Amino acid sequence: MEIINRVRTFLCMDDEEEEAQHALADEILRDYDIRGIFGENLFADCAYDIGKAFGTILSRQNLRTTCVGRDCRNSSNVLYQNLIKGLTNTGAEVVSLGLCHTPLMYYCVHRLNLDAGIMVTGSHNPPQYNGFKFTLGEDPFCGNSIKNLGEMIKNKDFVEKNGREVVLNSVFSSYVSDILDGFHFTDDVKVAWDIGNGATSNAIKAITKLIPGKHHLLFEEINGDFPNRLPDPTIAENIEYLSKFVFYNGFDIGFGFDSDGDRLAAVDSNGRMLFSDQILEILAMDFLRKNPGAQVIADVKSCNRLFDSIKKSGGIGIMERSGHSFIKIRMKSSRALLAGEMSGHFFFKDRWFGFDDGVYAALRCLEIISRDKNTFNNLERGCVTPEIRIICDESRKFNIINSVRHRLEHENVDLVKIDGVRVTSSQGWWLLRASNTQNALSLRIEASSPEDMLALKEKIRHYLVEDIGNIDEILKLKAHE
């Protein structure tokens, strides 16, 4: 009986409200979400307090309705249940979506005109991670808002009201119907869908049953241990099986998704992985044919070729800091209808709602392929690296970026500082920034030639050797030419 009581207390399941046993760790309060390691710096009672704090924010703005979903991670259900309990104890009316992908949560907020939404997800991170993505109406809830939420939890600054939880079973079928509206596909396309055991499974299974073509689903069984690959599809090793499957079976394209379905990766018919800025380039060219002069937003990690292509296609390219929340804010302020970032988030306000939805982005790609199967084949890359992640202690990564920025500011260089440092010269450009979702620095390089690539790598090594040490092995990563 004592063991049962301890479990109930840990899960915040006692009939009378208990004081949270775990303080909310500052390091899990990220720029655009809350994310940590379950059982290490994120616990079930933290979810209860997060629910109470967010519910209090809603109450004080005379808002009430919010939807909540969860991905398939083993820790997601307990976090989900405690989050809902915290929300309803502050008077919120919660539409519970259960197991779903993040775009369904966004869709529910937009389609039903709800006041807010929260998704319990570790996104593209390994299985032990989990966290919370928020939206306040159609606007991101990020930056100082998340920090203020953390302060509210520390001060126990909560309101106490009675709310309720409701279930809407029609949301999923409405999403499937709406997402396919206006698309035209051909019967002869062959597509592989690497679900990666994630929460997109139900949506992709439902959608592929309704559209023409041959569709083969890989790793469709939902499993929070992710037994077949890690959740991040933008890392080539994680979709190696997809690449081989597409090539050896003669498929036209392959799509890969993260655990909560807001990211998309793709491989061409040769099994070659496409960079996200290459995908955005094709999407932008198609979009600009119908919307000449329109703006297209890309994040700071994107290569110069993308911005040049947008300009040549009659569009206006806008560079923004990385992060889905910041992209959405810039889309609203600029009224841009299309955006994307190297992490595989694509945003369509054109024919869709403007949030990042990996499944919808895949359908836009499939629509293009239905007109020309070779569109994504043999795309030029130039001399450019993928995104390189340099493991770095969470407490040091921003200090390292500040140190490098300070040194560059005293040199005669072309420097962009909207997100980390992006340095441009006649040899090319390089970017160094702190990841907001991992304990890592993010590095990318684009050079005019292989010789210039080596020279730029040597400059980067010079700037980092003091803080990181020897990174020669990391910089040996071959650029795609």
Residues known to be catalytic: 123
- Where residue 382 falls (left for φ over 0; alpha for ψ -120 to 50; beta otherwise) is left
Partners of residue 135 on adjacent β-strands: 117, 140
| Residue written as token pair 């044919």 | 289
Task: Read off the amino acid at residue 238.
Answer: N
Helices 44-60 and 144-154 pack at an angle, to 10 degrees, of 110
Cα separation, 444 vs 194, in Å, equals 26
Yes or no: say if 122 and 231 are a contact pair by the CB < 8 Å rule: yes
Distance from chain centroid for Cα 402? 25
Cα separation, 77 vs 259, in Å, equals 15
Q: What is the DSSP string of 161-203?
A: B--EEE--TTHHHHHHHHHTTT----TT-EEEEE-TTSTTHHH
Q: What is the DSSP string of 378-437?
A: T----EE--PEEEE--TTTHHHHHHHHHHHHHTSS-EEE-SSSEEEEETTEEEEEEE-SS
Yes or no: say if 22 and 45 are a contact pair by the CB < 8 Å rule: yes
301: which 2 tokens? 């990690």
Cα separation, 266 vs 240, in Å, equals 11
User: Hey, is 147 helix, strand or coil?
Assistant: helix
Yes or no: say if 220 and 211 are a contact pair by the CB < 8 Å rule: no
User: Hey, is 209 helix, strand or coil?
Assistant: coil
Cα separation, 468 vs 400, in Å, equals 9
The angle at the Cα of 263, spanning 259 to 266, to the nearest 5 degrees, equals: 105
